[in-house]
Amino acid sequence: MKLKNKVAFITGGTSGIGLETAKLFQAEGASVVIVGSDEERLAAAGKALNGKALLVHADIRQVSDIARAVEETKAKFGHIDIVFANAGATTVAPLEAVTEEYVAENLALNFTGTFFTIQKTAPHITDGGSIIVTTSFLNTIGYPGLSILAATKAATRSLVRTLGAELASRGIRVNAISPGAIATLFYSKIGLPDVALQEVAAGITAKIGLKRFGEASELAKTALFLASDDSSYTTGTELVVDGGLTQF
């Protein structure tokens, strides 16, 4: 098993990419910590993980919550080997609809929450450990109505480089996964009606080289590579898993 005796701290682990990754990490021998803000989804994730995961109810928009989640993890396991900063969300907002509150919410969910997840976990990560961040295909293309999400994800991509350089002396690798269009609940939460979502999905699919949405399990396998010793000489990079969406 590639993660035997490792401790993995996962935000946004109650559904989609995060939950599939948690399942795979557990199957590969890791003790898994799931951090989530919705108690019902957190409980459901715990069942999906055979009742063996440490479940922490916390909101990554609150730095004090992140610190508490880290302390609970340290109290149970003593250390952390892998951090998967995967939490994030948004709603569609065209230029004229963006408000200060909307920007602040997106920053808290998609940038500062990620930054402070890394800051608070870093002192407890074993030397040679791995930090993985979820970015987005929106880093490299323009998509109407998602300007703020794209900006936060681009900023997060930059963090991977800078914090990777900062933590390199401890042998801690910092990398990103950039998902393309993935069949998860993310798209149902962006505030579009079903008909519009279907049109968006069809339009995106037409641009994907492999002509399909990806599966969360495919992203989980990429996360496993970055979490394990298989990627021992990989840091500061972003692995694009998008079926060719941004490449062709």
User: Would the pLDDT of 201 be above 90?
Assistant: no
Q: How many Å apart are CA 242 and CA 11, to the nearest integer? A: 22
pLDDT value for 200: 78
* Residue 175 parent element (H or E): strand 173-179
User: Would the pLDDT of 189 be above 80?
Assistant: no
Which of 240, 16, 223, 236 shows the shortest CA–CA distance to 140? 240
* pTM of the full structure: 0.93
pLDDT value for 186: 61
Q: Are 98 and 148 in contact (CB under 8 A)?
A: yes
pLDDT value for 234: 98
**Tokens linked to 234:** 């990989």
DSSP symbols for 149-186: HHHHHHHHHHHHHHHHHHHGGGT-EEEEEEE-SBSSGG
Which of 222, 183, 218, 223 shows the shortest CA–CA distance to 204? 183
pLDDT value for 190: 66
**Comparing 92 with 65, which gets the higher pLDDT?**
65
Distance from CA of residue 184 to its chain's centroid?
13
* pLDDT tens sequence across 114-133: 999 999 999 999 999 999 99
Output phi, psi for 16, to 5 deg: 55, -135
**Tokens linked to 54:** 């440490």
**Comparing 187 with 160, which gets the higher pLDDT?**
160
The DSSP bridge pattern shows strands 238-241 and 54-57 to be unpaired
**Comparing 190 with 97, which gets the higher pLDDT?**
97
pLDDT value for 196: 74
List the domains of the chain with CATH numbers: 7-241 (3.40.50.720)
pLDDT value for 41: 96
Q: How many Å apart are CA 158 and CA 226, to the nearest integer? A: 18
